[in-house]
Amino acid sequence: MAKKVESSRSGTVVVTANRLRDGRVVWYGPNDTWVEHIAKAAILGVGDDEAALEQAQTWARREVVVDVYAVPVDTDNDDVVPVTMRERVRAVGPSVRADLAVTYI
Amino acid sequence: MSSAVTPLDLRDVNSGAAVVDHAGIYRYDEFDRQFLHQRVAEFRQQAERRLAGELTEEEFRPLRLMNGLYLQLHAYMLRVAIPYGVLSATQLRQLGHIARVFDRGYGHFTTRQNIQYNWTKLEEAADILEALAVVDMHAIQTSGNCIRNVTTDEFAGAAADEIVDPRVYGEILRQWSTLHPEFSFLPRKFKIAITGSPNDRAAIKVHDIGIVAKRDEAGEVGFEVWAGGGLGRTPIIAIKLRDFIPESEFLGYMEAILRVYNALGRRDNIYRARIKILAQETGTDRFIGLVEREYARMSRQAYRLDPGIVAAIAAHFAPPPFADSPDEPAEFAHHLAENTAFAKWVGANTHAHKQPGHVSVVISLKPIGGIPGDASAAQMEAVADLAERFSFSEIRVTHVQNLVLPHVRKDQLFTLWQALGPIDLATPNIGMISDIIACPGLDYCALANARAIPVAQRISERFADLERQHEIGEIFLNISGCINACGHHHVGHIGILGVDKKGEEFYQITLGGSATSEAAIGQIVGPSFSYDDVVDAVETIVTTYVQIRSAGERFIDTFKRVGLAPFKEALYAGH
Ligand code: SF4
């Protein structure tokens, strides 16, 4: 279940889920794909977020991902930073294991 | 991929006796093993059907949870049961192997004496369960509204103050509760803890059922029974139901409590569903009356615990073949006198044993700045080796998230200590402020409000000076990342609860909690602190205690004497 989240300054969101086969955090990317790093996620403004979320949900119905929801983010200088600590931790990995941080490939 | 463990020719270093068949670990029979393998095969099929899209997440979720597989923030988390916290060296070595092959090289020991793997994959989950089954382990009933892993005193079968070995009855409870058809869909999860010592080290009064095994004047075993305790959103100390239930009636009485709960516990509200709420809403006397009435209706004969069964199980837990050893060997005394670091470790990390010349050793999983309860694959394997060399192949997991070698000869302590140092397992801090309980919190847990681990790490670093820790003395500091209280914050002398304020982390502090025989729920000291300020707040509390304590007074005693006021004053004056 998605947690109730705060909204971002600009109302922008990204869409996230966990991948079914390994549980890994994934982000909905451009061209109807899923990517592993939040920096590659499709940034959705007010107006295009609902359609993207609906499209992303079809991947859950196809049993590729689970628990699809939108995450409010702030975007500063190309950085995509979720508004809540919970989503920041999901995006990067456990804050206490820098060695296991999600890498940008 | 499955992984085999080859039987090892294990020998005790002292006697040279084979220890592979040593009786301190309960061993499965063929029936148990067959059942486990069937269960793994069943789950393998279920997972394959899920991956093929034949089962929806809604359909699959309860099936994976029945096998201990959760979906957390970053990946699937597998919670493996360690019955009453007892492991053999072979089992711990296999847990290390699983961490190395199927996870990211480590595991996390929990306050329920279990281990959790944080990075498992659904497509490999059945392989992990297969690898566990090879060493008689599983993840069944580590989730869901059933009777969970029974927990007990980590010094069971070893402690000098023990009256009855609680492992025997922990195993009886395990056999009784595993797949119990009537109690597989309770209103909510159900946790039982048992101790066999008058000094409660199993926190029995904050469990759904808490049991003190003891003996009557004739030396017969019986049980003091408590129920309706628990932490979480509504922390409550259990109420005593019986002062002494005879051994033969043990399971019947357990059954009666569970029946009353199963019939009357609330199923309409998850936050009001635990037995503690039933007991409170019903009223203590009426609740006890309901249990007694149910018990009176039950057939004594049908539920009689056969002494033959008890004896057969007790045989599995017979004492290991201790060598005769003087209580104060000269070599031990010499090292104590010559090496202050060793003496400090012995003072903090050993516990009195019933066998002369032996002690139980607590291996701290709380190095300064480390992650409480985490152990690497290499550390697990190393501890397994050391258990074979020094402790008859036995290991225990504590609810404080440390490991124990229960039976170590005093004249071998120095060698053991020297072996633990290089693998970062010799921190002499048991019962001190850096021996922190911390749940996974927001770094891993999907239910969390705030991080717990980095707060623990920063407190540990703030008090890194072990001299200072020893001067401060005994303080139990417990941290939970949300109100579910897996980090037992309510019963910490200092408790820290992570809360969410508009998406940011804050921490509420409680003082005066205790999980011992004099169990108490901590009192909230005042408004919560930010992530940045919470470590300073802890230091202020500790400094205040040191300033006002009487000679020899522990933190909890000072708190009982002075209450919240001086701490409140120190924390909030001027705010
Ligand atoms: S206390 Fe909360 S945050 Fe911590 S492990 Fe339990 S559910 Fe997760």
pLDDT level of residue B161 (50, 70, 90 thresholds): very high
Is residue A104 in a domain? no
Q: Looking at beta carbons, which residues of chain A come within 8 Å of B451?
A: 85, 89, 95-96
Region B15-33 average pLDDT? 64
pLDDT in tens, B216-236: 999 999 999 999 999 999 999
Question: Looking at residue A78, what is its pLDDT?
Answer: 79
Ligand 1 atom at minimal distance to the Cα of residue B442: 3
pLDDT > 90: percent of chain B: 92
Q: Does B435 touch chain A (CB under 8 A)?
A: no
- Whole-number Å distance, alpha carbon B76 to ligand 1 midpoint, is 15
Residue of A nearest to B369 (CA): A96
pLDDT in tens, B470-512: 999 999 999 999 999 999 999 999 999 999 998 789 999 999 9
CA-closest candidate to residue B74, choices A59, A98, A91: A91
pLDDT in tens, B233-255: 999 999 999 999 999 999 999 99
DSSP B186: -
pLDDT level of residue A46 (50, 70, 90 thresholds): confident
Q: Does B448 touch chain A (CB under 8 A)?
A: yes
CB contact under 8 A, B74 and A62: no
Residue of B nearest to A65 (CA): B57
Q: For residue B141, how far is the Cα from the chain centroid?
A: 15
Region B86-99 average pLDDT? 97
- Give the domain range for residue A50: 12-96
Question: Is B186 in contact with B262 (CB distance < 8 Å)?
Answer: yes
Is residue A68 in a domain? yes
Which among A85, A93, A96 has the least Cβ separation from residue B503? A85
CA-closest candidate to residue A84, choices A17, A7, A1: A7
Question: Looking at residue B26, what is its pLDDT?
Answer: 80
- Whole-number Å distance, alpha carbon B445 to ligand 1 midpoint, is 6
Residue of A nearest to B102 (CA): A22
Q: For residue B267, how far is the Cα from the chain centroid?
A: 27
Q: B53: left (phi > 0), else alpha (psi -120 to 50), else beta? A: left
Among B114, B442, B451, B482, residue to substitute to test ligand 1 (most atoms within 8 Å of Cβ):
B482
Question: Looking at residue B30, what is its pLDDT?
Answer: 87
Task: Quickly tell me which residue has 């659904």 as its tokens.
Answer: B122
- In angstroms, the Cα distances linking B566 to A47, B18, B535, B548, B562 are 56, 58, 18, 9, 7
Q: Closest Cα of chain A to B151: distance in Å?
A: 28
Question: Looking at residue B92, what is its pLDDT?
Answer: 98
- In angstroms, the Cα distances linking B150 to A17, B74, B86, B204, B344 are 35, 28, 11, 11, 33
How many Å apart are CA B407 and CA B162, to the nearest integer? 14
Within 13 Å, how many C-alpha atoms sit on residue A66's CB side?
24
Strand B437-438 and strand B192-195: the pairing is unpaired
Question: Looking at residue B31, what is its pLDDT?
Answer: 87
pLDDT level of residue B3 (50, 70, 90 thresholds): very low
- B122-134 and B30-51 are packed helices; what angle lies between their axes, rounded to 10 degrees? 170
Ligand 1 atom at minimal distance to the Cα of residue B450: 3
Number of domains in chain A: 1
Is residue A78 in a domain? yes
CB contact under 8 A, B450 and A95: no
Of the residues A27, A61, A89, A95, the best mutation for testing chain B's interface (the one with the most B CB atoms within 10 Å of its CB) is A89
Question: Looking at residue B204, what is its pLDDT?
Answer: 97
Q: Is B516 helix (H, G, I), strand (E, B) or coil?
A: coil
Residue of B nearest to A26 (CA): B74
Residue of B nearest to A94 (CA): B443
- Whole-number Å distance, alpha carbon B315 to ligand 1 midpoint, is 38
Q: Looking at beta carbons, which residues of chain A come within 8 Å of B504?
A: 85
DSSP B176: H
Q: Is B493 helix (H, G, I), strand (E, B) or coil?
A: coil
Is residue A103 in a domain? no
Region B112-132 average pLDDT? 97
Is residue A41 in a domain? yes
Q: Does A60 touch chain B (CB under 8 A)?
A: yes
Is residue A30 in a domain? yes
Question: Looking at residue A72, what is its pLDDT?
Answer: 95
Strand partners, B226: B210, B240
pLDDT in tens, B301-336: 999 999 999 999 999 999 999 999 899 999 999 999
Question: Looking at residue A10, what is its pLDDT?
Answer: 74
Question: Looking at residue B143, what is its pLDDT?
Answer: 92
Question: Looking at residue B170, what is its pLDDT?
Answer: 96
pLDDT at A82 over 50: yes
CA-closest candidate to residue B402, choices B86, B15, B72, B111: B111
Residue nearest to atom 6 of ligand 1 (CA): B486
Which among B371, B442, B504 has the least Cβ separation from residue A89? B442
Is residue A33 in a domain? yes
Q: Closest Cα of chain B to A72: distance in Å?
A: 11
Question: Is B355 in contact with B408 (CB distance < 8 Å)?
Answer: no
Is residue A18 in a domain? yes
pLDDT level of residue A48 (50, 70, 90 thresholds): confident
Token pair, residue B363, equals 């291996």
pLDDT in tens, B365-396: 999 999 999 999 999 999 999 999 999 999 99
pLDDT in tens, B391-418: 999 999 999 999 999 999 999 999 999 9
pLDDT level of residue A105 (50, 70, 90 thresholds): low
Instruction: Give helix then strand counts, H and E, for chain A.
Output: 2, 5
**Ligand 1: which residues within 6 Å by Cβ?**
B 439-441, 445, 447-448, 480-482, 484-487
Average pLDDT across chain B, whole number: 94
pLDDT in tens, B550-574: 999 999 999 999 999 999 999 998 7
Q: For residue B94, how far is the Cα from the chain centroid?
A: 20
Residue B550 has phi, psi (to 5 degrees) of: -85, 165
Ligand 1 atom at minimal distance to the Cα of residue B440: 5
Task: Give the ipTM.
Answer: 0.93
pLDDT at B9 over 70: no
Q: Does B8 touch chain A (CB under 8 A)?
A: no
Residue B158 has phi, psi (to 5 degrees) of: -135, -35
Q: Does A9 touch chain B (CB under 8 A)?
A: no
Ligand 1 atom at minimal distance to the Cα of residue B481: 3
Which among A18, A89, A96 has the least Cβ separation from residue B71? A18
Put simply, the chain B residues between 328 and 387 with a CB less than 8 A from any chain A CB are 371
What is the set of domains in chain B, with CATH numbers?
A: 1-81+110-140 (no CATH), 166-315 (3.30.413.10), 330-423 (3.90.480.20), 437-572 (3.30.413.10)
Ligand 1 atom at minimal distance to the Cα of residue B441: 3
Which among B71, B74, B104 has the least Cβ separation from residue A90? B74
Q: Closest Cα of chain B to A5: distance in Å?
A: 7
Region B158-178 average pLDDT? 96
Ligand 1 atom at minimal distance to the Cα of residue B482: 2
